[in-house]
Amino acid sequence: MAAAPPARAGRAASRPARRPGGRRAKRLELTLLLTPALVLFVGFVLLPIAAAFYYSFFKWTGFSPRTWFGLGNYSRVLQNDVFLHSLLHNIIIAVLSVVIQLPLSIGIALLLNGKIRGRAVLRLIVFAPYVLSEAITAVVWLLMLQPDGLVDQIFKAVGLGGIIQNWLADSDLVLYTLFVVITWKYLGFGIILLLAGLQSIPPELREAAATDGASSWQTTRSIVLPLLGPTIRIWIFLSIIGSLQLFDLVWIMTLGGPANASSTMAIYLLDRGFSRYEFGYGSAVSIVLFVVCFIFALIYQRFALRRDTQGALTRIVE
């Protein structure tokens, strides 16, 4: 019994002594590293949101004195048919992205993950449209989709001249035409993201499944796709948020027309807030757009991403 205290004392003495200024140095390092990013985040994200929220309660053209309007701007936004149709267009693009782009991305990623000739070149070709800026993509496709443009010429050359339409002038067709352009532009991002997820799956699992007699489809369905789940959920989140904030491609190609048939919430915001100098009303539109994205992000985090992030957070070891 008398030997226990010396043993504990020996173990305590063997532990490395903490430096007195170690904790202070770590705090100083974190402060120096986080301060620039925090200043930028506050200056370019939080303050604009707060300013838009403040101005949304006023009638203000940017030149005349501000007039208190309370919740009147929000009432106008939620009762405006053009805004509600713009919100519907964003939702349609988001749903089409998940229903069409996701299966295409998974299929092409599985194909490019296999051992095929020219795999590196094919990956480069698939990813190249994503590298192009939205402005360049919009201008190129705008020229191609003009009447008697390249798209029409291709259809005529392959004997499909009968399906030629006014791609960007038909109010029933313009939104789906834009979706084709959006898919061409952003499909490569999803493919590369899914390829990165496929690379993290140990090949031993597929080999074991093949040894047990599982077919390629059974292996993909029962092993690959479940392990690819976190990557798929991240892609869905990014795709829907991007669809809700869609602006540049549509603005350059159609300006939201014809007759607001391709208008989005961001285009409606720009039109009312800047083109018509209704800054108070435009601020209310921006807050509504922010709330829609924020609520979706919270719900998706709660029900879809929570299991992927559990245990991923780390804490500072003192």
Tokens standing for residue 25: 């140095």
Distance CA 28, CA 315 (A): 17
Residue 109 sits in a domain whose CATH number is 1.10.3720.10
**Tens place of pLDDT for every residue, the chain, 318 residues?**
444 455 554 554 455 555 556 788 888 888 888 999 999 999 998 999 999 999 999 998 888 888 898 899 999 999 999 999 999 999 999 999 999 999 999 999 988 887 888 888 888 888 899 999 999 999 999 999 999 899 999 999 998 888 889 999 999 999 999 999 999 999 999 999 999 888 888 888 888 888 888 888 888 888 888 888 889 999 999 999 999 999 999 999 999 989 999 999 999 999 988 888 899 999 999 999 999 999 999 999 888 877 666 654 444 434
Most distant pair of Cα atoms in the chain: their distance = 100
- Residue 314 included in any domain: no
Listed in sequence order, the residues at least 6 apart from 181 whose beta carbon sits closer than 8 Å to its beta carbon are 137, 138, 141, 249, 253
- Residue 316 included in any domain: no
* Number of alpha helices (DSSP H) and beta strands (DSSP E) in the chain: 18, 2
When divided into structural domains, the chain yields a total of 1
- Residue 214 included in any domain: yes
Q: How far is CA 103 from the centre of its chain?
A: 17
- Residue 8 included in any domain: no
- Residue 19 included in any domain: no
- Residue 281 included in any domain: yes
Tokens standing for residue 271: 């039109």
Output the pTM of the full model: 0.84
Range of the domain at 76: 67-306
- Residue 48 included in any domain: no
CA dihedral 294→130→179→153, nearest 10 degrees, is 170
- Residue 14 included in any domain: no
Q: Which helix or strand (DSSP H or E) is residue 266 part of?
A: helix 265-270
